[in-house]
Amino acid sequence: MKRNVILIGALLLLPLQTAFAQSASSASSAPATLYDRVKDEVDNELTDNQIEPEVSAYVRALFKQTENLDLTDDDIRNALKGTMPAACSNIVKCLDVVKNIQRVVGDEERVRELGRDLQLNATSNELPVSNLPGRSLQLSRDMQGLVSIWSADNFASSSSSTSQSSSSTSASSASSLSPLPIRTKDVDPQVMQPLLQQLGQALDDLSNEERIAAVWHYQYGYRLVRGDRYPDYPAPYVDSASTDGTERQYLFKTQADVEAALAKIWAAILGDTFNPPLQPNETVLYIFPDDLMKDTLPDNVIVWARMDTKGKNDNHPLGDVGLQWKTPLEPVQPSLLSDEDDLPILGGNYPPEPVIPPQSTGQKPQPLDGRGLCTDPTQQRGYLCRAYVIANATDTCPDVTSASKPVDPTAITLVTCRKPSSYPTTIAGPDVCRDIAYQPPQSFDPNTQAKLNIHCEDTCSSNDEAGVTKPKTANGTIDICIKNNPVDIPPDYALFHELHHAYQLSDQKPGFNPEKTGDPNRDNVGCCEVEGEAYRAQADMMERDGIFKNMTPIDGIPVNAQTYAEAYTNFSCGPRDGFQGCYTSYHYTPNFMDALENMNANSIHGQTCNQIFKNVGGQPQAKDQRVQDLIDVLLQRKDVCDPGTVDQYSNRIGNNMCFIGQCLEQTLELHRVTGAQSPATVGDESFPWNDPLTGVALGNQLVNPPLNASPLPVYRPELVMNQLDTALCQLDGLPPKTPPILCAIQSQQVFQYPLTDATSMLMQLAQNVQDEQDANANLLTLAPAFGARIGTDLYTTYLQTASRSLSDVISQAVKLFKDMTSVSFPTQMCPTDQSLPPPVSSQGSSSIPSGS
Amino acid sequence: MLASCSNIFTSPNTGTDTQALASCTGVGSMFEKIPFDDWAKDYHSTVAQVVEAHMDSLNNTAKLPLTCTAPDYASMVRPTGPLHDLAAELSPWKDDAQKLQALSETEIGPVLDEYLRVYECALNERKNFLQIRVQQSQNGGNDYSNSIEVARQSAIIDHQLALARMALDRTLQIVGGADRLRPLALDIECLKRTSLDIRNILGLVSQVSACLPRIRDARGSLRDLPDPSSPSP
């Protein structure tokens, strides 16, 4: 019974460490299918004259030690059938020997059967959620595969080119999917075949008992066992009471040949390179062909290998090579013979409490028995491997995000509350994925990107202009000078104007100046284009700020955004700067120009250059969000859709959507009326995201919708136990009681029945015991099924809720794609610049350009 | 003399007949045509094949021919070859072509249980008529050899009657553990396949969108933009 308790304790304490193995003694003769393995086990249990070799050896050693009898296996088999052993001379003593053999064998076999039964329950429930290749069902990996397909990031398991000249974005089979951040890679069978052969031989050379223990010993990797992954993952705790001569002697035993074989596999994959290179914490899980493992390893044994980056400690914290069972069927049974001297082990004690290092050391918890599970990059995300954030019971909304309670990203927080201000915000319009690094990081290219150098000066040019933008320097810097106290225009608008010039130059090569191409005609057109864009944007901003409100016409010309932009564009590209002027709708008189210069427009942020900036985290930022947005766009500008550009990103839904979004934006931004504005057609509003009533650019701030959190399924163990108690009591026909032992059959209730005769009463008393045994047997049958269904229900509840949101998204996506088929594109292009009327210098018409 | 096990299972919800079991007899069963000594081997290898094919199908969800638009779970997965072949030999499916046509891999439990029942019925019947059956198979024979053969076969039958059910129950416990989560796994697989379609469509759209700058270029027609650094024509 003591050994029985030890086994149960071991299974409960080490649900993942102790497990099952094949029952056959050698790999070559072992059954090849799951059913055959189970059948052989049952066969061994049922056959009276069959006895497990370990039990037989134990009985022989035991009777040698206690009775000084040299028994053979045949003697023991015969004793089980009631035949006295030949070595036994005294008939009276022999009868006792036979009885004792039957009792000892029966006891030991019962313990071993119990171990198998318990582990069978664990296997049937845990195997489906295992993630090792080759096992049945891989739900977690499949879910991660889904995330991998949908996510927008640059963890690259596959890449695609989306340049205009190539078309490598293509469909791929489901089998090529890999979970995030885990890739998979097929091993080279030619390289691995001899290594697995050696591993299989090392395992075959072990006894059945040692082989079973060895597979479980190395289930989380030989490097973990050896401490090679320290300090990220220290070696498992080995208690001092599990040495040779104890029942747990094989649990932690080092098998040198097996370790050496696993080390060779590790060495074979250590030099592998990956394209793209592995990210920190990203791992590669190697796939060994099933046939290769069947041919080389003992039956039901599989090998796994995982590679990662070197890590900060240069120790490959997540990389390892280990063993596992294809279908766990047998636990590490309590040892019956000492590995040291082959003496029988007559019993044992519970192992001592594992030692957990103090939390103050800041170390991760030691991988205690079973905690090796948490050294797996996927499994460590599960409930068993993450701490719970325990909130104050009186605090219904614990503020776990406060500075005093730093957030542990690995912890599970059951209840959190977020303030509205804590929602992430992003800027609508430009650069849809600016806050997502969906492309691999690339170095700064001065030919296509730009840095800004904005500074305030008393004077920026000899013409006393409010602002000046210089061409890009060789290192990609665009210099913007803003006059400290501009007279004719507030510095906000001047900076916004100059930023548009910077935007025009930002994707051009250093030194490019559209107004100095060497061709006077092109220079004039270029000046009109770039100044026109900048003045139209500036005028639009001023109009929305109400600068032109209540302005009266001057010389019959209305003062509004259009006339302001036209007049100043024409002036800036006029004789003063050596140009011939631009197309205008009106003939702007000197009187009109003087009036514009003396408008005395006021800025809401300040009249001096320094006043329009604020200090955010030590960095100056424009107070006006529109200005700051444009600065941000400029600094992160990358025109992914420029002709000939080759863009690389992982072929995922999110990444593709980012690319499409950026192409759309780039299209609208580069070929628009005004820089950084996104009218899709001529008649569209320039800033569709602005507040239409006030014109305030608050609409530039987009609040992301909150994440649709997947609720954790309710787990109420006390209720579950009560239900089980109720079930037990119902079996006995009684109301629920706790503990359920109170529902046991009351023997004295027989006396409450009318007395018929003594025989009937005795029969009823005897039947009482049977009734109770039946109820207990039923409970034993019921409990695993009960527990399995509760566990499955928890899993199902969570995953179905989580997948429902995804189903909704997919439904919408399908609708969108169907709608795309009904889109009709215009057959006529917008008119080009050449179709516009030529610039006029005389009293002009009042016509408005039909397109630009 | 034999108690007939013929029965009709009636669905409590619909009241329609769902299963029609054959009589509990070895006569007419699939075991009648093979020698007794091959019964156990035949039975266990058949069960092993069905179970192995089922486990293989669990391992290879990505390669399963799924009907993701099926109205219910059972219709999503077609039976594996060994399961279909076995069901085609058993009365509830053999006698009902429509039911065999609609057989699903989810019915592995009922099919194997029915196969076990047929096996046990055949064993029980042989045990009840063992003397006669042995004499028939021995073409008379002498009493001594017949009694030895009866004892041998009786031991086999008893062992098989104890072994077959327990082995199948334990196997189905493991299979059932995996099967309980299988509907989820298939749902996820269908979501994954749909997601892959969407991803591939988006991949095509992204390639098309790379042309947008030229399509919407108001300053020129559909041609490459001139290189700003090149000399003007």
Q: What is the pLDDT of residue B23?
A: 76
Query: For residue A640, what is the nearest residue in chain B, using CA coordinates?
Result: B210
CA distance A47 to chain B (A): 8
Query: For residue A171, what is the nearest residue in chain B, using CA coordinates?
Result: B200
Q: What is the pLDDT of residue A626?
A: 80
User: Inter-chain contact B63–A800, Cβ cutoff 8 Å?
Assistant: no
Q: Does the structure show a pLDDT above 80 at A526?
A: yes
User: Inter-chain contact B210–A125, Cβ cutoff 8 Å?
Assistant: no
Cα A294 from chain centre: 32
Q: What is the pLDDT of residue B186?
A: 82
Q: What is the pLDDT of residue B182?
A: 80
User: Inter-chain contact B216–A172, Cβ cutoff 8 Å?
Assistant: no
Q: Which two tokens stand for residue A36?
A: 């055959």
Higher confidence at residue A681 or residue B137? B137
Size of interface A-B (CB pairs under 8 A): 225
Q: Does the structure show a pLDDT above 90 at A686?
A: no
CA distance A275 to chain B (A): 21
Higher confidence at residue B15 or residue A546? A546
Q: Which two tokens stand for residue B176?
A: 């059932």
Residues A222, A320 contacting (CB under 8 angstroms) = yes
User: Inter-chain contact B199–A128, Cβ cutoff 8 Å?
Assistant: no
Indicate the residue of B55, B192, B198 with minimum beta-carbon distance to A34. B55
CA distance A291 to chain B (A): 13
Q: How do residues A178-224 score in pLDDT, each as one tens digit?
A: 344 677 888 999 999 999 999 999 999 999 899 999 999 999 999 99
Residues A603, A490 contacting (CB under 8 angstroms) = yes
Q: What is the pLDDT of residue B123?
A: 92
Q: How do residues A236-281 score in pLDDT, each as one tens digit?
A: 877 778 888 889 899 888 999 999 999 999 999 998 988 778 887 7
Q: Does the structure show a pLDDT above 90 at A133?
A: no
Reported as a pLDDT band with limits 50, 70 and 90, residue B63 is: confident
The residue-averaged pLDDT of A804-833 equals 63
Q: What are the beta bridge partners of residue A702? A: A426
User: Inter-chain contact B213–A670, Cβ cutoff 8 Å?
Assistant: yes
Q: Which residues of A touch B112 (CB under 8 A)?
A: none
Query: For residue A125, what is the nearest residue in chain B, using CA coordinates?
Result: B177
Q: What is the pLDDT of residue A676?
A: 39
Indicate the residue of A517, A670, A803 with minimum beta-carbon distance to B187. A803
Residues 6+ apart with CB under 8 A from A305: A187, A265, A266, A269, A285, A286, A288, A320, A321, A322
The residue-averaged pLDDT of A777-790 equals 68
DSSP annotation of A741 reads G
Helices (H), A622-652: 625-635
Question: What would the DSSP string read from start to end of A292-320?
Answer: HHHHHSPTTEEEEEEEE--TTTTS-TT-E
User: Inter-chain contact B177–A522, Cβ cutoff 8 Å?
Assistant: no
Reported as a pLDDT band with limits 50, 70 and 90, residue A124 is: confident
Q: Which residues of A touch B166 (CB under 8 A)?
A: 42, 46
Q: How do residues A289-301 score in pLDDT, each as one tens digit?
A: 888 998 999 988 9
Q: What are the beta bridge partners of residue A258? A: none
Question: What would the DSSP string read from start to end of A65-103?
Answer: HHT-----HHHHHHHHTTPPPTT---HHHHHHHHHHHHH
Residues A130, A19 contacting (CB under 8 angstroms) = no
Query: For residue B178, what is the nearest residue in chain A, using CA coordinates?
Result: A128
Q: Which residues of B touch A172 (CB under 8 A)?
A: 196
Q: How do residues A627-669 score in pLDDT, each as one tens digit?
A: 887 887 788 777 777 777 778 888 888 889 888 888 877 776 6
Q: Which residues of B touch A46 (CB under 8 A)?
A: 159, 162-163, 166
Q: Which residues of A touch B206 (CB under 8 A)?
A: 162, 169, 656, 659-660, 663
Q: Which residues of A touch B59 (CB under 8 A)?
A: 134-136
Q: Does the structure show a pLDDT above 50 at A494?
A: yes
Gap between the Cα atoms of B118 and B137, Å rounded: 21
Half-sphere exposure of A575 (CA within 13 A, CB side): 1
Gap between the Cα atoms of A625 and A462, Å rounded: 31
User: Inter-chain contact A659–B200, Cβ cutoff 8 Å?
Assistant: no
Instruction: Output phi, psi for A312, to 5 deg.
Output: -70, -25
User: Inter-chain contact B47–A35, Cβ cutoff 8 Å?
Assistant: yes
User: Inter-chain contact B174–A127, Cβ cutoff 8 Å?
Assistant: yes
User: Inter-chain contact A788–B177, Cβ cutoff 8 Å?
Assistant: yes
The residue-averaged pLDDT of B197-206 equals 89
User: Inter-chain contact A641–B210, Cβ cutoff 8 Å?
Assistant: yes
CA distance B130 to chain A (A): 22
> If you average pLDDT over each of A661-675, B142-156, B177-191, which comes out highest?
B142-156
User: Inter-chain contact A832–B220, Cβ cutoff 8 Å?
Assistant: yes
CA dihedral for A768, A769, A770, A774, sign (positive or negative) = positive
Query: For residue B233, what is the nearest residue in chain A, using CA coordinates?
Result: A519
Indicate the residue of A146, A517, A643 with minimum beta-carbon distance to B214. A643
For A594, counting Cβ atoms within 10 Å of its Cβ (0-12 exposed, 13-18 middle, 19+ buried), the class is exposed
Q: What are the beta bridge partners of residue A412? A: A388
Q: What are the beta bridge partners of residue A287? A: A186
Residues A316, A307 contacting (CB under 8 angstroms) = yes
Q: A20, A35, A113: best mutation site toward chain B, by most B Cβ within 10 Å?
A: A35
Indicate the residue of B52, B162, B199 with minimum beta-carbon distance to A149. B199
User: Inter-chain contact A123–B163, Cβ cutoff 8 Å?
Assistant: no
Q: Residue A208, SS3? A: helix
User: Which residue's entry shows tokens 């299209």?
Assistant: A667
Degrees to nearest 5, angle at CA A686 with A683 and A690: 125
CA B74, B76, B78, B83: dihedral to nearest 10 degrees? Answer: -30
Reported as a pLDDT band with limits 50, 70 and 90, residue B188 is: confident
**Choice among A31-35, A330-334, A799-803, B227-231 with the minimum mean pLDDT:** B227-231
CA distance A411 to chain B (A): 26
Q: What's chain A's length in residues?
A: 852
Q: Which residues of B touch A651 (CB under 8 A)?
A: 199, 203
Gap between the Cα atoms of A471 and A446, Å rounded: 12
Q: Does the structure show a pLDDT above 70 at A593?
A: yes
Gap between the Cα atoms of B161 and B40, Å rounded: 10
Half-sphere exposure of B77 (CA within 13 A, CB side): 28
The residue-averaged pLDDT of A472-497 equals 89
Q: Which residues of B touch A667 (CB under 8 A)?
A: 212-213, 215-216
Distances (CA, A) of A557 to A12, A211, A572, A573: 90, 97, 19, 20
Q: Which two tokens stand for residue A282?
A: 């990203």
User: Inter-chain contact B191–A810, Cβ cutoff 8 Å?
Assistant: yes
Q: Which residues of B touch A125 (CB under 8 A)?
A: 177
Strand A477-483 to A451-457 pairing: parallel
Reported as a pLDDT band with limits 50, 70 and 90, residue A595 is: confident
Indicate the residue of B181, B204, B213 with minimum beta-carbon distance to A792. B181
> If you average pLDDT over each of A1-15, A255-269, A424-438, A546-560, which comes out highest?
A255-269
Indicate the residue of B171, B207, B211 with minimum beta-carbon distance to A169. B207
Q: Does the structure show a pLDDT above 80 at A712?
A: no
Q: Does the structure show a pLDDT above 50 at A315?
A: yes
Q: What is the pLDDT of residue A242?
A: 82
Q: Which residues of A touch B109 (CB under 8 A)?
A: none
Residues 6+ apart with CB under 8 A from A545: A604, A695
Q: Which residues of A touch B202 (CB under 8 A)?
A: 653, 656-657, 660
Q: Which residues of B touch A121 (CB under 8 A)?
A: 173
Higher confidence at residue A803 or residue A610? A610
Query: How many percent of chain A have pLDDT more than 90?
Result: 15
**Choice among A219-233, A410-424, A537-551 with the minimum mean pLDDT:** A410-424
Q: How do residues A349-407 score in pLDDT, each as one tens digit?
A: 887 776 655 444 455 545 455 678 888 887 777 777 777 665 555 555 555 455 455 55
Q: Which two tokens stand for residue A825?
A: 């594109």
Gap between the Cα atoms of A382 and A387, Å rounded: 10
Q: What is the pLDDT of residue A129?
A: 73
User: Inter-chain contact A36–B44, Cβ cutoff 8 Å?
Assistant: yes
Reported as a pLDDT band with limits 50, 70 and 90, residue B21 is: low
Q: Which residues of B touch A47 (CB under 8 A)?
A: 159
Q: Which residues of A touch B62 (CB under 8 A)?
A: 173-175
Higher confidence at residue B61 or residue A53? A53
Indicate the residue of A42, A173, A668 with minimum beta-carbon distance to B166. A42
User: Inter-chain contact A509–B177, Cβ cutoff 8 Å?
Assistant: no
Gap between the Cα atoms of A850 and A835, Å rounded: 10
Q: How do residues A335-344 score in pLDDT, each as one tens digit?
A: 999 988 889 9
Q: Does the structure show a pLDDT above 70 at A9?
A: no
Q: What is the pLDDT of residue A134?
A: 66
Indicate the residue of A39, A789, A795 with minimum beta-carbon distance to B44. A39
CA distance A84 to chain B (A): 23
Query: For residue B48, what is the nearest residue in chain A, using CA coordinates?
Result: A35
Q: Which residues of B touch A518 (CB under 8 A)?
A: 231-232
CA distance A799 to chain B (A): 8
